[in-house]
Structure 1
């Protein structure tokens, strides 16, 4: 069976034409996104990921392998030279807006008013502003102002 650029067999895609479905096939389970979240927050070792998430060792091993196999994490030798560590690739760092959007949705909808929760701040300590997509004209975009268009196999000219 031919494989895709991610190494997954074509038949493994939930919906081969949908970018959302393919993304979820790669990082859509709970543990994968929490590993990516913690890598963005400085976790590098198996032990750190396990301590931060509470994930079972066998599941963590599987998720780290999957994220590495699909180019979201890469392994390198730790500065001590004794262990391997996991580091986000460019593709892994590109998930930042995805996690930011999930975080901001959670802040609005997953907590009762006044319930304490963590918040993301920038390097100056200021809360990160809400991410809001806009069109080419600057107008806000949402589910009512967008639609899906299938593309062909040849790029637009």
Structure 2
């Protein structure tokens, strides 16, 4: 195994499987193997780790083929939504739910990677990204290149 900087020559490939997609291990371009793992690094840390009280900042986000698969599903839904010219019939993209065993990286890996991808998505289509964790919301304004943090003073009651 070797470490390379930059985007991989070939990422993982996926194929349709019912209403979702799955990794296609049978497809590989000659000469370029897909990565085993991708690492996104942020000097400021990832939002999920900023909530820790110990002041620990984790600067690396590890992306495996399953995390990339989650993004491929979200990206496909966004592409379908943006291709719909009559937004009165479909005013918002499909909701997605990511579930799994605690500790497998739903928030840190998948959440951070989706945030990264949305922040790098076509600015003509997505100008603002909102990320919510507990009582904190991060509003990323891509046009102004700012992040505004909102905290709830009192937890809302659910009736």
TM-score by length of 2: 0.28
Structure with the bigger percentage of strand: 2
Structure with the bigger percentage of helix: 1
TM-score by length of 1: 0.29
